[in-house]
Amino acid sequence: REKKLLEVEGPVGAVEDSCYRDESSYIPTKADDWPIGQPVPLPKWGSSRPPLVVSSIEEYEELTRQFENEVQLLLQEYNYDSITNFIKFYNEFKNGIYETLEYFFRKYQPPLTKNANTCVGLGLLLIGKLALLESRFPGVKNSLYLVSCEESIESHEGYISNDYPDPWVSDKEHVMVAMQIEINGRGGVILLDPGYQIGRVITVMIDQQYPHTGRFVPSSCPQKEYCYQTMVGEKYVQWSVWNGSNKPETNLVYVGASYHSPVSVTERRNLVYNFRSLLATNSKGHLLAGVYFKAALQSTFTLFCDDDEDPTIKHRIKVPSDKFISLNEIDNEVEKILNTSSKHLKMTKVQYCNILSGVAKILEDNDFLDQMCKINDDIFKLGVDENNNNEGVNNYNLSG
C-alpha cells in the first residue's frame, strides 16, 4: 500500500534523521478501514519487534540512563498541547463547505505539528531520539516501536480474547513508546510515556523481579500511583492507576505488535475529545504551567503556574473562557499568571493569549460543540456498546 511521509515541520517529518519507520509514515485512511457507522477508523497493528538482548544488569542500567536522559530532555523542550491542532481543525471546518462535522471528520487528515504535540507527536519524537543511540546499543533502533493503549477498561477479559485488540471496540486514545528487552534470559518490556509527562523509564519484567519498576508516584500527578505488570502471554501490560481509592482504574497497553494507526486513529480521536490542555513540565514531568478546560459551551479555563521566585508556591485561577474573546477584560491577577506561564510554555504572552482567544471563540459555537460531543460520545460508547459488530474482527485484516 502506498505511503507518504508525514507533512510536518522539523524532526517529526525528517525520517532519515529521526529514524522513524512504518509507525510514523502516514497511511491514508481507506474506505474499508472506516466502515459506515464506525465513529473512528479501525486501528491496525504491524509485526512484533525483536527484543534488545543485554548481557548484564549493568548494561541495562546504562541503557535506561540514556533513555531516561532523552525522555527528560524531551519533556523539558516540548509542551503537551491538545489545543493548537484543535483550533486548526475547527478553522478548516468553518472555512470549508461541509454539511456536518461528522462528514468533515471523516475527510480530515490530522496534521502533526512540531511544537504542538499530544502523546502521538511526543512518542514519535522520542523514538527518533532514542534510535540515534543505535551505535552505542546495537539493535535498539529496530526494537523500538509505538504501542497502543486503551484506557479505563471495566472488564478486560473480553477485550484481550484475540491475538490483537478488537478494532471494533477500540478507540486507542493513547500511545506510548515500547521496547522488548531480555536480560540474562529474563524477559520484559520497557515503556516510556511522554504523553502523560512521565520523566522516567518504566520497566515491566515478566517475573516482577529487579529491575521491575513496581508501584510509583508520577511527578506529573502526585496524588496518583501507577503500577504496570504483564499479562496474557506477555502481549499486554496492565497499567493500574490509584487515585485516592483502594480500587484502581485499569488501562491496557498492547505490546504484542507495533501500532500502525497513531495518526489516523489516535490523533484523530483526540481532536474531538471533550477535554483540552496545554502543559509545560520540567525534566521530571512536574507541571510548571499551563491551562486546561472542558470543551463545552462557555467553559472555564483553569490557568496555573509555579511562582517565578518560589517554585513551591502554586498559582491557580479559574477564568470564564469568554473573558479571552477580546482580551480586554483580563485583570491584573490573570495578567501576572499569563506572564509567568508564557515563559514556562516557551512562547510570548501574545502567542499564549492568541491561543486562548482562538479556543475561547470556538467555545461560543454551540452547533459545532454539539456535533463534536456527539462524535466523542459515539467513540466513548465503542467499548461499552453491546450492539457493536464484535464478530467483525474475523473479517478484518488487522495487520497494516
Q: DSSP class of residue 372?
A: H
Comparing C-alpha atoms, which of 104, 98, 93, 106 is closest to residue 41? 106
Instruction: Determine the pLDDT at residue 170.
Output: 77
Query: Please, which residues bridge with residue 120 across strands?
Result: none
DSSP states along 14-83: -HHHHT--GGGEE-PPPGGGS-TT-SSPPP-B----PPEEESSHHHHHHHHHHHHHHHHHHHHH--EESS
Instruction: Determine the pLDDT at residue 232.
Output: 67
- Residue at 279: amino acid letter: L
In 3-state terms, what secondary structure has residue 5? strand
Stretch 280-296: mean pLDDT, rounded? 97
For residues 146 and 265, is the Cβ–Cβ distance under 8 A?
A: no
Mark out the alpha helices in the chain (DSSP H runs): 10-13, 15-18, 57-77, 84-95, 101-107, 119-131, 140-143, 156-159, 268-271, 332-344, 349-362, 366-380
Rounded to two decimals, what is the model's pTM?
0.89
DSSP states along 244-263: SSSSPEEEEEE-SS-B--II
Distance CA 127, CA 145 (A): 7
CA of residue 1 relative to chain centroid, distance: 26
Local confidence band at 319 (pLDDT 50, 70, 90 cut-offs) = very high
Instruction: Determine the pLDDT at residue 30.
Output: 60
Local confidence band at 190 (pLDDT 50, 70, 90 cut-offs) = very high
Residue 76, Cβ density class (10 Å: 0-12 exposed, 13-18 middle, ≥19 buried): middle
Local confidence band at 204 (pLDDT 50, 70, 90 cut-offs) = very high
Instruction: Determine the pLDDT at residue 53.
Output: 97
Q: Residues 212-230: pLDDT tens digits?
A: 999 999 988 999 999 999 8
Helices 84-95 and 349-362: angle between axes, nearest 10 degrees: 50
Distance CA 341, CA 381 (A): 36
Local confidence band at 167 (pLDDT 50, 70, 90 cut-offs) = confident
Mark out the alpha helices in 208-318 (DSSP H runs): 268-271
Instruction: Determine the pLDDT at residue 346.
Output: 97
